[in-house]
Structure 1
Amino acid sequence: MRRKAKCRRRLGVAGHVTRNYDVYSFSCTSCLRMAYDVVNVNMSEKPDWLFDKNPNGKVPVLEVDGGDTLHDSFVIAEYLDEKYSYRPLHSRDPWKKAKDKLLIQLFNKVINALYKLFLDPNNLDKQSVDNIIGELIVFEEELDARGKPFFGGERPGMVDYMMWPWCERSDLLRIMGGDRWCLSKQKFQKLMEWRNAMKEDDAVKESYLEPNLHAKYFKSRLGGYPDYDILV
């Protein structure tokens, strides 16, 4: 029987659950069963101390005992995975790990396409959605080829957690443009099954927000006054 990993340090994560990149860090710390504190930051009125932690003034920021900090979502996720090995998120096989990192990089195309639509719903049309669908086909085929419920195998791994925040927000397309923008269940059967399975993951449940809350947040952001207290 494997023991639950013990973390001598209590970590601090500065960010906000409404921000996609911050959820990567929240999910990884939850998945690796580490004790951590979250400090939500109003990015419209950034506190001075944030720039002391990260000169770029961005979140997320990871702080450990002693005040040492890291920033950048992927750097934080990889550090946590290597430092606290309760359940490795990356494959320990160098080749598989490298292939997974390429897959994560490839997903940036989906991220960029979705982000443009979320920030400017006027760009939502058949062509823009077709572009996203075209990029997702690679992931449908890859998941099918791996023959497991998750990209990480029987349980979610680094690829799964890096993709999830944006897939969670994919329902915004339906809210913005109606059911015609929903992905085809026949064309993306594996990804649909994957999405349902991810929603049952304990780490995902800790930061999951319903589509209407995401829609409310982006609406406030488009109005020029991001509602960072949406969960209060």
Structure 2
Amino acid sequence: MSTEKCFAKGSAAPAPVPKDHIRLYSMRFCPFAHRARLVLNAKGIKHDTININLKDKPDWFLEKNPLGLVPTLETPAGEVIYESPITCEYLDEVYPEKKLLPSSPFGKAQQKMMLEHFSKVTPYFYKIPTGRKNGEDVSGLEAELQQKFAKLNEELVNKKTKFFGDDSITMIDYMMWPWFERLEIFELKQCLDSTPELKQWTERMVEDPAVKATTHSLDTYKAFYKSYVDGKPNYDLGL
């Protein structure tokens, strides 16, 4: 069972999670939830998706996860897991087919260190558009973002690989991708101009089946972010 429209306060709780499935509580445009959707798709895991109205969360959802965060996973046994890197690592461990994390402890540690570095990059995707909207000079922030991209570019140059872990996609690529997919919506695509390897990485990622399966059209993204900025997010946009 997959529901597209989001559940809001006052909605009835969904049926229990089917025996051979896992459930993802998500929001169609959330980049953090996008991480879990990418991993579920890449690994071919049987799952159902319940979308949540993040502005008006159902009480039954807050009982499962008092923080009200997406992504949240729920197993048929009623176990609840949240925080995007934790949900994705859990999925990789519990469903061992098509492993996305390296098997060596050092390889895993490298990916986690890189993710920690990338977590310092994501705020720019919000600060810059917000600053622009408020009429601020964001050129300094844009220059800082370009420096962060230069570091990521250097990583690819040094590794001499097509992706951040190897020549095929691994977990770290999926962890970073949702923000790069949104570069154009945030009018930040020009920040890739001086990082050719990183730009090539984005072109390779676009061709990945899991990326294609979890994306939205540019127009849909733009319309959602406009509704979000206006303070009336339309979580069901396009349905």
**TM-score, normalised via structure 1 length:** 0.89
Distance 2:89 2:70 in 1: 16
Answering whether residue 228 of structure 2 is matched by residue 221 of structure 1, we say yes
Structure 1 letter corresponding to 2:190: C
Structure 1: distance between partners of 2:202 and 2:34: 16
Aligned CA distance change for structure 1 residues 200 and 124 (closer, same or farther; 3 Å): farther
Deviation at 1:154, TM superposition (A): 2.2
Partner of residue 72 from structure 2, selected from 42, 49, 61: 61
**What SS does structure 2 have at the residue aligned with 1:37?**
strand
The answer for the alignment partner of 1:204 in structure 2 is 211
Distance change (3 Å), C-alpha of 1:84 and 1:124: farther
Q: Flag structure 1 segments of 5+ consecutive residues without an equivalent.
A: 1-7
Write out per-residue CA displacement over residues 120-145 of structure 1, whole angstroms, 9 at most, x where no aligned residue.
53346211111111111111010111
Distance in 1, matches of 2:174 and 2:236, equals: 24
Query: Which residue of the partner structure matches residue 143 of structure 2?
Result: 130
- Give, in whole Å, the separation in 1 of the partners of 2:128 and 2:31: 14
Aligned residue pairs, count: 219
| Deviations 1:195-219 (CA, angstroms, capped at 9, x unpaired) | 0111111111111123332221111
Q: What letter corresponds to residue 78 of structure 2 in structure 1?
A: G
Code of the residue aligned with 2:39 in structure 1: it is C
Q: Is 2:93 aligned against 1:93?
A: no
Q: Partner of 2:3 in structure 1? A: none
Match runs of 1:25-174 below 5 Å: 25-122=36-133, 123=136, 125-174=138-187
Give the residue type in structure 1 aligned to 2:156: L
Residues 218 and 184 from structure 1, CA distance in 2 versus in 1: closer, same or farther, beyond 3 angstroms? closer
> Which residue in the other structure is 1:4 paired with?
none
Residues 53-78 of structure 1: per-residue CA shift (max 9 Å, x gap): 10111211101112211111111001
Structure having the larger proportion of residues in helix: 1
What percentage of aligned pairs have identical amino acids?
29
Deviation at 1:155, TM superposition (A): 1.6
- Where does structure 1 differ by over 4 angstroms across 4 or more consecutive aligned residues? none
- TM-score, structure 2 as length reference: 0.86
Query: Residues 150 and 194 of structure 1 are in contact (CA less than 8 Å); yes or no, is this contact kept in structure 2?
Result: yes
| Structure 1 residue corresponding to 2:190, chosen from 178, 182, 188 | 182
SS at 1:111's partner residue? coil
Task: Give deviations 1:130-166, integer Å, cap 9, x for gaps.
Answer: 1111111111010111112111212211110010000
Which stretches in structure 2 are left out of the alignment for 5+ residues? 1-18
Is the Cα contact below 8 Å between 2:23 and 2:73 reproduced in 1? yes
The alpha-carbon deviation at position 118 of structure 1 amounts to 3.9
SS in 1 for 2:123: helix
Change (3 A) 1:173 1:58: closer
Structure 1 pair 102/197, CA: closer, same or farther in 2 (3 Å)?
same
Distance in 1 (alpha carbons) for counterparts of 2:164 and 2:25: 28
